[in-house]
Structure 1
Amino acid sequence: MNNSNEVPNYRGPLSVLTVLFFMWGLITSLNDILVPHLKAVFTLSYVQASMIQFCFFTAYFIVSFPAGRLVEGLGYKKGIIFGLCAAAVGCLLFYPAAGAHSYAFFLLALFVLAGGITILQVAANPYVTVLGKPETAASRLTLTQAFNSLGTTVGPLIGAVTILALVEHSTDASSVQMPYVILAGMLLAIAVIISFIKLPQIKGGNDEVQPQNTTPKQEAKSVWQYKHLLLGVVGIFMYVGSEVSIGTYLISLMESPDVAGLSSDVAGRYLALYWGGAMVGRFIGGVVMARVRPNYVLAFNSIANVVLLAIAMAVSGKVAMWALLCMGLFNSIMFPTIFSLALDGLGKFTGKGSGLLCMGIVGGALIPFIQAMFADSLGLLMSFFVPMVGYVYILFYGLKGYRTKPVTAH
């Protein structure tokens, strides 16, 4: 690693990483297509269909911390290649799962796929924070996450025309086979390309890896001593859970006669606006946060989403649909901002901190499941009070929880 005061030019490596962010965004957003599709194919309740997101995001909780150690041992580049290969295996498992017409097999395939993406997240997110100036880490991660949002925007459009359009005419799950086989091929191709590309050798856990303003007085013996990191893990839990929960049930909500009465494939295309808003917001946020303190932007966006949810629940109809679709714009900067604020000052614990933060992504498994229980009992629209709680917590983190506290010596 270059130890001079001059910051190297990392445009090449960052360009490669944006492709990864795009791919796992596309794959993750396809879950929002799978939920209504498999719900129709297997005649599931909301709770049963929520197991799709539950199995996918539970992998983050189980795999994240081991992935942090894996990246520490292999380094970021090999960790990324390993994650791509594992995700490709998960995509390939969709073929026999559809052939066997087994919902349980689909859930297994999703778990394996998510395990690979977890390794990519653990390796790529902190890698972006160290490839450049420390003071612009939040802005840089937000911009690369914008390409993740581009993937989540394209994903529903692809899924709507290749999967959902067939729901009304087919009771089998075969429509998912070719899309996921193609995704597997793309992931493996990227892994091969990355293996031949020279990337900066930055080992996870290296004492030199200090993406933020690390103060010697705040050195700790354990990653668990950083309060702002632990509160950040809860923030990631709340954010991912809330965002995923809204995306998961938006299609079903837009299909409801009381809201918009759209067909499933048309609703799937509208869902792209939700993720597209996140993409636009991240490009804007990347510029704004180079000038405005990231925690202020985080707090403002949290308030906006609480207001939009309140409007949707109070008014219903197409107003509710458009209010929820607009939330994507304000979701945009939340993940990278919470992530970078939580890694502030961790120094040599950056790799382990990234693993802990990725464990918080399990919120994408639990919060949609909790909302599903309320959806089955209270009705789908009223169940959106669940993600509202998540945004209230994020507001707290943006105003107070992000602050780096002196650690207690042991």
Structure 2
Amino acid sequence: MTKNKYLFPFIMITSLFFMWGFVHNLDPILIPHLKKSFSLSTLQASLVDSAVFIAYFLMALPAGFIMKKYGYKTGIIIGLLLFAIGSFLFIPAANTQLYFFFLIALFIIACGLTILETAANPYASLLGPAETSTFRLNFAQSFNGLAATLAPIIGAKIILTKGYSDTELSAMTESAKQVALASEASSVKMPYLILGSIILVIAIIFAFLKLPEIKETEQKEGEKTGIFHALAHRHLSWAVAAQFFYVGAQVCVFSFFILYATKAAGIDEQQAAKYAGYGMGMAFMIGRFFGTFLMKFISAGKLLSIYALINVILCIVAITSSGTIALYAVIGIAFFMSIMFPTIFSLGIKDLGKDTKFGSSLIIMSIVGGAILPPVMGYISDMTHNIQMGYAVPLICFVVVFLFGIKGHKVIEIKSYE
């Protein structure tokens, strides 16, 4: 898969995929938890995702410049440090009992994740032969899927324990209710303290680790490069759009799953969290490994379009069905969307040469779809009083991914600008 000199660096980079996957997949636990703790509407609770993914939009280009000037290793260390700082800020956020403080902490974590993903995705793709780059990136991203399985299960045990039902809360006096909700909100302190400490240790390890700096095609004298030059690559422009809609769909499906499951299937939050981990997370993880295997026999673009089309159908089922059928439809969506992020990413930066780092930044920047589309789903859910109707949003998203897989990913040479 990789040359011997790339093996250990590839292992370390792969560990990063697990870590950011873990913190991202705590968000579906945080959303119902903070929704109850601060008596939020579905739209207000969706600001958890907005705080995270706005950071991707704001930090992606600075992350690209960091990588361009200082290299991948420096970018990774800076990203890890921001990740750790944001995690530690959950402690004062819980102490002050301010929802806005939680959003700031999540924003700082996401700034670190933006830099990490801008560095790690192309780095994993480039650590070896070009012809196996998509396979390699999907393999690394598979550990992101493992995190998607473990995070909801662990998070539910630590964060959602000893929760109060709406009936119990309504029976309390206002002062007792505030104390109870404050106690619930404080349950996030320990998991994020542990997470921040682990990330800080990993940052120290990377500081002393020798990583090979991967060189893309060198820029010739007088040859132009930059953001707009990178966007002139048609397949990159398509990838930016596809990633915007894909990430929006993924965040909608994962972040609202517990709320969806409690309404569509009539189960409680603890049961829903188990479905999120053992069902959604496991399906996502298995889908990654299975999809990576299938890419040995089916082209990445074709497989992407097939998976997207299946998810369009499953979204329709999620909207129209109820009970366990609804749950299994959404779990199926997780399985078939598992390969989408790394596949869109690797197809988008293919043959970019000197524009690779800017191309990577632009695709990461498009992750802002995760900030914009979940509030749309939340708004539709609030207006219709039916969270299932919100699945019209991911349905449209998967149509865009389908079009990218059919034709948008095809590389067309561009002429050099004079």
- The TM-score with structure 1 as length reference comes to 0.93
Instruction: Name the counterpart of 2:343.
Output: 337
CA deviation digits over 1:37-93, x for unaligned, max 9?
A: 000000000110010000111000000011000111121111101100011000011
Q: Is 2:101 the counterpart of 1:105?
A: yes
AA partner of residue 241 (structure 1): G
Instruction: Name the counterpart of 1:45.
Output: 41
Instruction: Name the counterpart of 1:207.
Output: 217
- Choose from 257, 261, 264 the match for 2:266: 261
| Structure 2 counterparts to residues 371-390 of structure 1, below 5 A | 371-378=377-384, 379-390=386-397
- Contact 1:41 1:167 (8 Å CA) reproduced: no
Matches of 2:240 and 2:224, distance apart in 1 = 20
Instruction: Name the counterpart of 1:228.
Output: 235
The Cα of 1:147 is off from its aligned counterpart by 0.4
Q: Is 2:247 the counterpart of 1:240?
A: yes
Q: Is 2:208 the counterpart of 1:190?
A: no
Matches of 1:344 and 1:220, distance apart in 2 = 16
Moved more, 308-317 or 395-404: 308-317
Instruction: Name the counterpart of 1:271.
Output: 276
The Cα of 1:317 is off from its aligned counterpart by 2.4
CA deviation digits over 1:78-128, x for unaligned, max 9?
A: 110110001100001100000000000000000000000100000000001
SS in 2 for 1:200: coil
Q: Gapped runs of 5+ residues in structure 2?
A: 166-179
Instruction: Name the counterpart of 2:332.
Output: 326
- Contact 2:57 2:366 (8 Å CA) reproduced: yes
- Contact 1:238 1:394 (8 Å CA) reproduced: yes
Measured on the aligned residues, the alpha-carbon RMSD in Å equals 1.7
Instruction: Name the counterpart of 2:192.
Output: 180
The Cα of 1:366 is off from its aligned counterpart by 0.8
AA partner of residue 61 (structure 1): F
- Choose from 45, 54, 58 the match for 2:54: 58
Q: How many aligned residue pairs are there? A: 393
- Contact 2:260 2:388 (8 Å CA) reproduced: yes
- Contact 2:266 2:323 (8 Å CA) reproduced: no
CA deviation digits over 1:268-301, x for unaligned, max 9?
A: 1111121221111111122221332100110010
Moved more, 165-174 or 297-306: 165-174
How high is the sequence identity, in percent, across the aligned residues?
A: 40
SS in 2 for 1:165: coil
Q: Is 2:322 the counterpart of 1:291?
A: no
AA partner of residue 69 (structure 1): F
The Cα of 1:8 is off from its aligned counterpart by 5.3
Q: Gapped runs of 5+ residues in structure 1?
A: 1-5, 210-217
- The TM-score with structure 2 as length reference comes to 0.91
Matches of 2:161 and 2:3, distance apart in 1 = 50
SS in 2 for 1:167: coil
SS in 1 for 2:164: helix
The Cα of 1:7 is off from its aligned counterpart by 5.2
Matches of 1:220 and 1:43, distance apart in 2 = 49
Moved more, 168-177 or 368-377: 168-177
Matches of 1:9 and 1:80, distance apart in 2 = 19
CA deviation digits over 1:217-261, x for unaligned, max 9?
A: x997721211110110111111111011011111011112xx222
Matches of 2:413 and 2:253, distance apart in 1 = 36
The Cα of 1:408 is off from its aligned counterpart by 4.5
